[in-house]
A and B are shown apart, each in its own frame.
Chain A
């Protein structure tokens, strides 16, 4: 399947028309929805953290762009996480309908990579501002 075809299957209209499989237990549907909402809040928290770093933190001595180096990636990854959470919800819902095993989730990986990357950037910025 081409990329554009694959993207159109993610649109809400296509998802709502998908009649494959059978209606899952409503509790599973609710749980899937809650998982999506929890990831959405995590994405919002990343954006809040990024904005807080840029706006509220005192500037790093000798590293004038330090706050932006930390904050802007956090905000961008908040957007990525929100989009990925929706894709994940569609895939899980489809698997629930068809009785397939739930698909492998990439979201924890994205979050872990984000936090690791930010921690490394923070360490470098702190070292540079302390040593120079």
Chain B
């Protein structure tokens, strides 16, 4: 770890040279999660427009949460900074699943047992 890193011998783990990469990857993971919400919103949109718009509206909120995490993590060294954000994400997915459950049962294109 403390050994000098010569030009010809890069560190085994690039993060040992730049811990900021971990932050970058986490930021990208947040973006991917936001896109996943948007994808789900698009799928719901086909079945129920209002529910679809509701789920689509979550995507920019998630994206914003990821940005908040970056700036806050840079300012504080609180260990579990973001427990609330992750809790909100988990809770949102549970709520969205419930919504999708109802949409799947009562949705326009799939009346149970009729088609």
Partner of B26, one of A12, A33, A65, A72: A33
A129 to chain B minimum Cβ distance, whole angstroms, is: 14
Q: Decide if A40 touches B109 in the complex (CB within 8 Å).
A: no
Interface readout for A57-68 with B: 1 if CB under 8 Å, 0 if not? 001000011011
Q: Decide if A12 touches B84 in the complex (CB within 8 Å).
A: yes
Chain B binding surface SS class? helix
What number of residue pairs across chains A and B have CB atoms under 8 A from each other?
142
- Which A residues are CB-close (under 8 A) to B81? 16
- Which chain B residue has the least Cβ–Cβ distance from A78? B97
- Which B residues are CB-close (under 8 A) to A47? 40, 93, 96-97, 100
Q: Decide if A82 touches B100 in the complex (CB within 8 Å).
A: no
Q: Decide if A16 touches B78 in the complex (CB within 8 Å).
A: yes
* Cα of A128 to Cα of B73 in the assembled complex, Å: 55
Does B105 sit within 8 A of A, measured CB to CB? yes
With A48-B43, A65-B112 known to touch, is A24 a contact of B29 (CB < 8 Å)? no
Q: Decide if A16 touches B84 in the complex (CB within 8 Å).
A: yes
B103 to chain A minimum Cβ distance, whole angstroms, is: 7
Q: Give the contacts of A13-40 with B (CB-CB under 8 A).
A: 13, 15-16, 18, 23-24, 26-27, 29-31, 33-34, 36-38, 40
Does A113 sit within 8 A of B, measured CB to CB? no
**What is B's interface to A at a CB cutoff of 8 Å?**
15, 19, 22-23, 25-26, 29-30, 32-33, 36-37, 39-40, 43-44, 46-47, 69, 73, 77-84, 86-87, 89-90, 93-94, 96-98, 100-101, 103-105, 107, 109-110, 112-115
